[in-house]
Amino acid sequence: MEKTIKIKGMHCKSCVCAIKDKLESLNGIKSAKVTLLKNEAIVDFDPAKIDLEQIQIEIEKLGYSTGLNFEKKSNNILKGLVYGIVPHIGCIGFILGSVLGVSILMQFFRPLLMSRYFFYGLVALSLGFASVSVLLYLRNNELLSVKGLQRKWKYVTITYGSTVGVNLALFLIVFPMLANVSASVGGDQVTIGSTEFITLRVNIPCSGHAPLISNELKTINGVQEVRYSTPNTFAVKYDSGRTSKTDILKLAVFREYPATVLNETSSTRNLSAPPAATNNSSSGCACCRGK
């Protein structure tokens, strides 16, 4: 296999000779041609004995740069972001719609989130991306074997680790943080009954589904506020004059993601509600009391 390696840091013929001598001393190198004018090395090597990355490492040990560390770092970060974020585009799109109040965006992604199997498919897709990336890397370097996998265990670890890391960041930090940042509940907020509080545990597969549950609850006339707490708890404040616990639990979303009532409380009658009528039979009207 013949590869061209760009080299930075060569200044004279001595640099060329040092790199050439080093390369030709390595096991698996058939020939090496180093050119100062083009700042490159053309290396013919046996990939069964040595790979391109190892050759670059040996050049960098001499004090020259082949862009190896920068490329590895950039590629790993980029892959981690892509493999971690792209599979969750449905959750992210729904959250953006919720935060910005874009109903079209929410309705577009809602059918996907309404199926719990969608989540498991996303997890498989995320790990699938990482697996394909590793396989292509090993194949391109003619290391697609158990020994090749053992030789490149660091690359494999970084690829899967970055993917899992981004997923965990989304599940444990980003999604929970954004779940309670959404468009406010619309409609008349004047309480006509008593203010009731109910806490639900909802069987959602991940925190990315929390905005779906919150927004479904907010569609009920009478629900005044919904607060999400990790991993799957929703505190609901509602007006008993407009809705009830039964109405809340009848939501279609709870057929896919069952809800369990953890506790429920009620407050005194809201001060904004009209006062109760008084009985004037004993006191009489003002004119009678004056008599």
In a domain, 155, yes or no: yes
Residues 59 and 77 in one domain: no
pLDDT digits over 174-186, tens only?
888 877 876 555 5
**What's the confidence (pLDDT) of residue 10?**
85
* Bridge partners, residue 225, by sequence: 237
* 32 phi/psi in degrees, rounded to 5: -145, 130
**How many Cα atoms within 13 Å fall on the side-chain side of residue 251?**
26
39 and 83 both lie in a single domain:
no
Instruction: Please identify which residue in the block is written with the tokens 């009830």.
Output: 244
pLDDT at 234 (0 to 100): 94
Residue 243 binned pLDDT confidence (cut-offs 50, 70, 90): very high
Question: Using 50, 70 and 90 to split pLDDT, how confident is the model at 172?
Answer: confident
Residue found by looking up tokens 């444990």 in the block:
172
pLDDT at site 198: 94
Q: What is the pTM of this model?
A: 0.58
Give the residue numbers spanning the domain of 28: 2-66
Q: Which residues contact 38 (CB under 8 A, 6 or more apart)?
A: none
Task: Output the pLDDT for position 261.
Answer: 95
- Residue 48's CATH number: 3.30.70.100
Structural domain contains residue 188? no
Regarding whether 149 and 131 lie in a shared domain, the answer is yes
Token pair recorded at residue 124: 């498989």
- Please state the rounded mean pLDDT for residues 101-108: 68
**If pLDDT is split at 50, 70 and 90, which confidence band does 250 have?**
very high
What 3-state DSSP class applies to 263?
A: strand
Residue 289 forms part of a structural domain: no
Q: For residue range 190-221, what is the model confidence (pLDDT) as tens digits?
A: 778 789 999 999 999 888 888 889 888 988 99
- Structure tokens belonging to residue 41: 């090395």
What is the token pair recorded at 159? 């690829």
Is 115 a domain residue? yes
Domain membership of residue 189 (yes or no) is no
Residue 277 lies in a domain: no
Last residue within a domain, chosen from 42, 66, 90: 66
Residues 6+ apart with CB under 8 A from 249: 259, 261
- Number of domains within the chain: 3
What residue type is assigned to position 154 of the chain? K
Do both 14 and 108 map to the same domain? no
Instruction: Assess if residue 291 is contained within a domain.
Output: no
- Report whether pLDDT(118) > 80: no
Q: Which of 149, 155, 10, 138 is nearest to 71 (CA)?
A: 155
The answer to whether residue 282 is domain-embedded is no
